[in-house]
Chains A and B, each alone.
Chain A
Amino acid sequence: MPTRKTQFDEIPPPHPHSHSAQAVESLRERVAELEKRLQEKELEADALRRTGHAMGFLLDLPRMLSMVAETIVQVTETDLCLIYLLNETRDELVLRAASSPASSAVGKVRLKLGEGVTGWVAKTREHVALHSEAFRDERFKLVPELKQDRYHSMLSVPLLGRTELIGVINVRTDKAHEYTPAQIELLESIASQVAGAIENSEQFDRIQRRASQLSTLSEISRTIASSNYLEEILQFIVAVTAEGMNLSICSVMLLDEERQELVIKATTSRSRAYISKPNLKLGESLAGRAVAEGKPVQVLDVRRTPDYRYPDIARQEGLCSLVCVPMVIQNRTIGVLNCYTARPHRFTDEEISLLSALATHAAIAIENSQLHIRSAILQEMHHRVKNNLQTVASLLRLQVRYGKQDSAETALLESINRIRSIAVVHDMLSREDLDTVSVRKLADNILSNVAATWLPEGHRVSVGVEGPELLLDSHRATSVALVLNELIQNALEHGVGAAGEGMVRVVISADEERVSIGVENTGEPLPEGFDLHRNRNLGLQIVENLTKGELKGSFMLTGGEVTRAEVAFALNPDPYF
């Protein structure tokens, strides 16, 4: 809003040496004058309050403008108000709002810049006040759409935005009317308020439009449930907000409910210091307070705010004003949107409501994406469980077919160990966030399980796992678990079991391309003339099938003093899988 001189400065003070009667008279006049101006000021304040009210709760531009037009007619005590706005190409003024008798002409009247009085005002950006017989003015142009050009007076003021002309506001009276400087000033200040509201509303429209893309985006996420996706949404949000609101930094912090901490998830800042600043506890600093209280918190200068946690970073990055807007969905605060400006800026109510709307959109998008991810995970789990049940059913059925000569106890123990080896993988997966499993830990677990089943109390068999740490995806880890289970069982049962003492060890080795997992044992050697391919033992069938099928590798069995069974496969799976 442009600053204006107060009109009180213009009133001459009473003459010091005049007669008392004259002095009284002049004082009386001065009082009357002051009263009149006071009344005008009050009127102006009231008008501003009323137009402000009209604009405050409506961000829908056409409705806001028509309410403003009606209000202007009332507060200026004129007969008609017309609001023209520049079109997108900025060469024409279009009637965008009019008070009631003329409201049907909205959108139909178009004036070139410089055309008519209104066009002249737009071109020169100066107001024009015509007190009577406005049609005699040389700039006058008849506008047939308005149908009532027999008006007498007209006041036309430019609508000036922050940097450029937005449009023109006109008021008219049917009879001649003298526009006082106060009235002109009133209309000008209303115009400046309206200009601000229009700019906000346009900004709102722009950001609202882009924010609604977020919901669409989250719909797309149905197909891919990756954690990167959420980061993309958040990055989009901060970028759009920073651009739309002219911010120096915009960031999103999400609430980690378990730890009650706010974690930075996305920011437009490239500064390492800002990105790696420690998490905020709930209630701590300004963002923490906004989340704890569930309402926006703003400060004019973070560098002079004792509550602010990172004054050093603010100084370094040239951050000044800050508003923290909580991200709320269904009465639950899930995070906070932080907006910094480089220069002192008081965020208006409109700006804050705009940011809140954006934060809500963002919160919905985040919630959606998390729901999609959750449902995708649930579906995948469901499928995995059923598939595993099928594997278990298959293993049991195979045991029935193959183990005809075994005792029921042996058959059951073998089956139980197979199922346990699959369970070990899932147990390890559930303890860690990643979808990978350490082969060493897997071998350790299976070795002790199988040993506990097959070795008698007080045995003298040493068991162990050697080799580097190696991680495998869950799918191949399950195959490796089943393979290890069979090989270790064979080593214990047929190798050291017969001797009652000796050694069984799992040896893992890996280079950049291939992995080899060997099970070595002392004790009873392989039978004379043992042929792997003729052996119809279920355990070895399982090993062969898994090695060839899932692992796409090879299986070897070598005899001698130490029997060694080895599976080898490529470290990186086939690109298809």
Chain B
Amino acid sequence: MHPMRVIIADDESIIRLDLRKTLEAGGHTVVGEAGDGETALNLARTLKPDIAILDIKMPVMDGLDAAKAITEEGIAPVVLLTAYSEPELIARAREAGVFGYLVKPFQEADLHPAMEVACARFEQMKALQEQVHDLEDRLETRKAVERAKGILMEKHGLTETEAFRRIQTQSMNTRKSMREIAEAIILASQI
């Protein structure tokens, strides 16, 4: 298991102390401790931990709201640690996009696997998001270059290869992406 930088939040300091010691015994580092959701969220934003372990019932901002924000901002995977096991709350946790749910009283043996799984899932999700982003960009580039080629061929009587070369050369000379050059050509043709 790889060591992680963890933030923990629970409004009971004894449970926090236990959690800290348990994590430290597992080779992890607790980089931040909070007694309420808002502090936990701020800690997550500034410390960028590998994982956040949050209790649900906390003052000021509850663990679910903090979990939702941390997940939406893509900071870290969240594991909820809570005395509640009501289906309604589990459903809310799912909506908040949490990566793990441990019911109190938790066992040391449950904690580490839950963290591992949460981290692996989070990495997977991040990788997929990046892939999606990359694919989207490539698709857009292709569309733009196709259109720009058409414009150049028509205006300057070029062949397709010549038109492509021109865009490519321009991209290399100006250190801009082919998509940017293509978009500029399209924009220029519309004036």
A545 near B14 with CB under 8 A, answer yes
- The answer for the CA separation of A391 and B57 in the assembled complex, in Å, is 15
Q: Most A CB atoms within 10 A — which of B17, B18, B19, B36?
A: B17
Looking at A61-69, A75-83, A382-390, A426-434, the stretch in contact with chain B turns out to be: A382-390
Interface residues of A in 383-406 (CB under 8 A from B): 383, 386-387, 389-395, 397-398, 401
- The answer for the CA separation of A394 and B59 in the assembled complex, in Å, is 21
B15 near A394 with CB under 8 A, answer yes
Looking at B104-112, B125-133, B154-162, the stretch in contact with chain A turns out to be: B104-112
The chain A residue sitting closest to B21, CB to CB, is: A401
Hey, what's the 0/1 contact readout for B88-111 against A, CB within 8 Å counting as 1? 000000000000000011101000
Contacts of A394 in B (CB 8 A): 14-15, 17-19, 105
Query: Contacting A397 at CB < 8 Å: which of B13, B18, B36, B83?
Result: B18
- The answer for the CA separation of A95 and B13 in the assembled complex, in Å, is 75
| Interface residue? A374 (CB, 8 A) | no
Min Cβ gap B84→A in Å is 7
The chain A residue sitting closest to B106, CB to CB, is: A390
Min Cβ gap B124→A in Å is 30
The chain A residue sitting closest to B103, CB to CB, is: A386
Contacts of A451 in B (CB 8 A): none
A398 near B59 with CB under 8 A, answer no
A389 near B17 with CB under 8 A, answer no
Min Cβ gap A554→B in Å is 14
B105 near A389 with CB under 8 A, answer yes
Contacts of A395 in B (CB 8 A): 14, 18
A550 near B21 with CB under 8 A, answer no
| Interface residue? A8 (CB, 8 A) | no
Contacts of A577 in B (CB 8 A): 59
Contacts of A546 in B (CB 8 A): 13-14
- The answer for the CA separation of A549 and B59 in the assembled complex, in Å, is 13
**Known contacts A383-B83, A397-B18, A401-B21; A390 and B104 CB within 8 A of each other:** yes
Q: Mostly helix, strand, loop or mixed at chain A's interface?
A: helix
B14 near A397 with CB under 8 A, answer no
A541 near B17 with CB under 8 A, answer yes
- The answer for the CA separation of A395 and B105 in the assembled complex, in Å, is 12
**Known contacts A383-B57, A398-B18, A576-B60; A390 and B13 CB within 8 A of each other:** no
Q: Most B CB atoms within 10 A — which of A392, A545, A548, A576?
A: A545
Interface residues of B in 36-90 (CB under 8 A from A): 36, 57, 59-60, 83-84
Min Cβ gap B87→A in Å is 13
A545 near B16 with CB under 8 A, answer yes
Query: Contacting A390 at CB < 8 Å: which of B15, B35, B60?
Result: B15
The chain B residue sitting closest to A577, CB to CB, is: B59
The chain A residue sitting closest to B57, CB to CB, is: A383
B83 near A387 with CB under 8 A, answer yes
Contacts of A383 in B (CB 8 A): 57, 83-84
Min Cβ gap A395→B in Å is 6
Contacts of B59 in A (CB 8 A): 576-577
Contacts of B13 in A (CB 8 A): 545-546, 548-550
B36 near A390 with CB under 8 A, answer no
Min Cβ gap B55→A in Å is 9
| Interface residue? B12 (CB, 8 A) | yes
Hey, what's the 0/1 contact readout for A477-508 against B, CB within 8 Å counting as 1? 00000100000000000000000000000000
B14 near A482 with CB under 8 A, answer yes
Interface range on chain B: under 10, 10 to 19, 20 to 34, or 35 or more? 20 to 34
Min Cβ gap B77→A in Å is 22
Min Cβ gap B182→A in Å is 55
A550 near B84 with CB under 8 A, answer no
Query: Contacting A387 at CB < 8 Å: which of B12, B16, B17, B36?
Result: B12
Q: Most B CB atoms within 10 A — which of A395, A398, A549?
A: A549
Contacts of A515 in B (CB 8 A): none
- The answer for the CA separation of A390 and B14 in the assembled complex, in Å, is 9
| Interface residue? B22 (CB, 8 A) | yes
Contacts of A576 in B (CB 8 A): 36, 59-60
Hey, what's the 0/1 contact readout for A311-329 against B, CB within 8 Å counting as 1? 0000000000000000000
- The answer for the CA separation of A313 and B104 in the assembled complex, in Å, is 59
Min Cβ gap A575→B in Å is 10
The chain A residue sitting closest to B83, CB to CB, is: A386
A549 near B104 with CB under 8 A, answer no
A545 near B17 with CB under 8 A, answer yes
- The answer for the CA separation of A387 and B84 in the assembled complex, in Å, is 9
B83 near A549 with CB under 8 A, answer no
- The answer for the CA separation of A576 and B57 in the assembled complex, in Å, is 14
| Interface residue? A542 (CB, 8 A) | yes
The chain A residue sitting closest to B104, CB to CB, is: A390
Contacts of A390 in B (CB 8 A): 12, 15, 83, 104-106
Q: Most A CB atoms within 10 A — which of B12, B18, B22, B106?
A: B12
- The answer for the CA separation of A574 and B2 in the assembled complex, in Å, is 39
The chain A residue sitting closest to B13, CB to CB, is: A549
A542 near B105 with CB under 8 A, answer no
Contacts of B57 in A (CB 8 A): 383, 387
| Interface residue? B25 (CB, 8 A) | yes
Q: Most B CB atoms within 10 A — which of A386, A395, A546?
A: A386
Min Cβ gap B187→A in Å is 53
Min Cβ gap B42→A in Å is 15
Min Cβ gap A476→B in Å is 12
B14 near A389 with CB under 8 A, answer no
A542 near B104 with CB under 8 A, answer no
Hey, what's the 0/1 contact readout for A519-562 against B, CB within 8 Å counting as 1? 00000000000000000000001100110111000000000000
- The answer for the CA separation of A546 and B17 in the assembled complex, in Å, is 10
Contacts of A389 in B (CB 8 A): 104-105
Contacts of A401 in B (CB 8 A): 21, 25
- The answer for the CA separation of A92 and B118 in the assembled complex, in Å, is 74
Hey, what's the 0/1 contact readout for B6-29 against A, CB within 8 Å counting as 1? 000001111111110110010000
**Known contacts A576-B59, A576-B60; A393 and B105 CB within 8 A of each other:** yes
Interface CB pairs A-B, < 8 A, 8? A387-B104, A389-B104, A394-B14, A394-B18, A394-B105, A395-B18, A549-B13, A577-B59
Could you list which residues of chain B lie within 8 angstroms of chain A, going by C-beta atoms? 11-19, 21-22, 25, 35-36, 57, 59-60, 83-84, 104-106, 108
Q: Apart from A390-B15, A391-B12, what 7 extra A-B contacts exist at CB < 8 Å?
A: A390-B83, A390-B105, A394-B14, A397-B108, A542-B14, A550-B13, A576-B59
4 A-B pairs closest in CB distance: A549-B13, A394-B18, A386-B83, A545-B13
